[in-house]
Amino acid sequence: MPPAMFDELLNSLSPRLTWKDTNFRLALHPCLLAVSSYHKTPSLWRQAPLPLRVSRHPKAIFLLKVCQAIVDHYKDTVIACPVTQGDWKIISLEFELRRNLAHAVAALDGKHIAIRKPHGSGSLYHNYKGFFSIVLLALVDANYRFLWVDVGGLGHMSDAQIFNAAESKECKENDNICLPKPEPLPNSDLDMPYFILADDAFALRQMKPYSRRGLSEAELIANYRISSARRVVD
């Protein structure tokens, strides 16, 4: 981590990581944020208590607090979902310029994150790939930036099930996220709605490639452009 980034984190997170001293011990200083950034490999994790003079137990607690403080402080700044038609149109223009696909406003996909089987969970977290996981579902813009994230879906659930149960689906259907009104595509006079890119796992409410065989040349070109633009979320 560059020193400038560490200093920025320390200055931003110090109010959230400052505790009061007690009659039994002095509180850890926020500068021990270094404990968290020091964690790169298991070997370094075991060696960290020696140079930093912090035992393993408080170091483990501090790591969780630092991670939560980073999330609380930066979540609304780093991951900000557009709420106006103008903001969505800016993202759509980026997809058109960078990915050669007009009227796309985001790419949607899920990622299985491997975990240890939670006690008493049965097969809830066991996915079709054969391991236990939780699912991260995300919307991404044309520049690989997260717009919206849903974390914690059960491993046995499909991406479509998680999206259908998420608040973003309801907001999209109720037009609470203010997607732009349908407009003609370039070189066309027919109105085309703005859409979210997705793969075959999702329903037709999103824009996904043609899945049948014997496609025409125009359909093959459409598949290529949709798949190419959707790769930003992969």
Q: What percentage of the chain carries pLDDT values higher than 70? A: 75
The C-alpha atoms of residue 227 and residue 219 are separated, in whole angstroms, by: 12
Task: Please identify which residue in the block is written with the tokens 């223009």.
Answer: 93
- Report CA 210 to chain centroid distance, whole Å: 26
Least confident of 21-30, 36-45, 163-172, 205-214: 36-45
Residue 50 confidence (pLDDT)? 46
What tens digit of pLDDT does each residue of 162-186 get? Answer: 777 776 555 656 566 677 888 887 7
Most confident of the following: 9-18, 75-84, 123-132: 123-132
- Please say whether the beta carbons of 137 and 150 come within 8 A: yes
Instruction: Give the number of C-alpha atoms closer than 13 A to the C-alpha of residue 15, restricted to the C-beta side.
Output: 3
Mean pLDDT for 201-219 is: 67
| DSSP letter assigned to residue 204 | T
Which of 108, 164, 157 is closest to 135 using CA atoms?
Answer: 157
Mean pLDDT for 225-233 is: 82
What tens digit of pLDDT does each residue of 117-129 get? Answer: 888 888 888 888 8
The C-alpha atoms of residue 27 and residue 15 are separated, in whole angstroms, by: 14
- Edge to edge, the sheet with strand 104-114 lists 146-154, 133-140, 104-114, 195-197
Task: Please identify which residue in the block is written with the tokens 């598949």.
Answer: 223
Domain ranges of the chain: 3-75, 85-230
User: Band of the pLDDT at 49, cuts 50, 70, 90?
Assistant: very low
